[in-house]
A and B are shown apart, each in its own frame.
Chain A
Amino acid sequence: NAGVMQNPRHLVRRRGQEARLRCSPMKGHSHVYWYRQLPEEGLKFMVYLQKENIIDESGMPKERFSAEFPKEGPSILRIQQVVRGDSAAYFCASSPGEVEPYEQYFGPGTRLTVT
């Protein structure tokens, strides 16, 4: 059973470009979470999605950031018009959602560098 997959592992974008980060949850998992880790900091919750639904986006910046988890295919975290401050590691986690304590399994992360 493959773990959580994220791609690309490293992404370099110039200021003003768009970044698309992909996350494929573990097989059988229908809950996806995105976290951001700034340098020298812990992970911060961004958004929680189920298939075709955003359940909690309280950690998402109000502008330029969006996320989706379509019926088919991976979850996408999209950052428009990137700025230097978006440089960070972005981690995706998935859980089956039906078994306490709803343990989350993390992917290897995507390291975004904005130049």
Chain B
Amino acid sequence: AQSVTQLDSHVSVSEGTPVLLRCNYSSSYSPSLFWYVQHPNKGLQLLLKYTSAATLVKGINGFEAEFKKSETSFHLTKPSAHMSDAAEYFCVVSVGWNGGYNKLIFGAGTRLAVHP
């Protein structure tokens, strides 16, 4: 069965320092993986997605993630945090079905705080 584990419920960084949000997945198939961001009281925005092409995926706002099959990891990174990055981040694995349907399995989320 597919599942996602986000290893940190809270991460706190200083503005301008690197961000690392960790995610491990479990999947019986070659997975599709996503990172979504949720700002307070807002909907979800797709940051980036991995779909079995390049293992290093670049997303919006300077974020990127690397798919490592041997470690079953898909960690999210950013070289330099900005105050506006403070939000909840979700690592997501897709359960694929035939006919264009995929069910998303969400991790519990990591709350990122950015301090001046």
Contacts and interface: CB of A to CB of B under 8 A. Distances in A.
Contacts of B44: 43, 91, 106
Contacts of B94: 101-102
Nearest to B6: A42
Given A56-B97, A93-B104, A96-B100, 12 more contacts: A33-B103, A42-B90, A43-B104, A45-B105, A48-B101, A101-B32, A101-B96, A106-B44, A106-B45, A107-B43, A108-B43, A111-B41
Contact of A48 (B41, B42, B103): B103
Query: What is the interface of chain B mostly: helix, strand, loop, or mixed?
Result: strand
Contacts, number: 66
13 contacts: A33-B103, A41-B109, A42-B90, A43-B106, A44-B106, A45-B104, A93-B104, A96-B100, A97-B101, A101-B49, A102-B96, A103-B49, A108-B42
Nearest to B97: A56
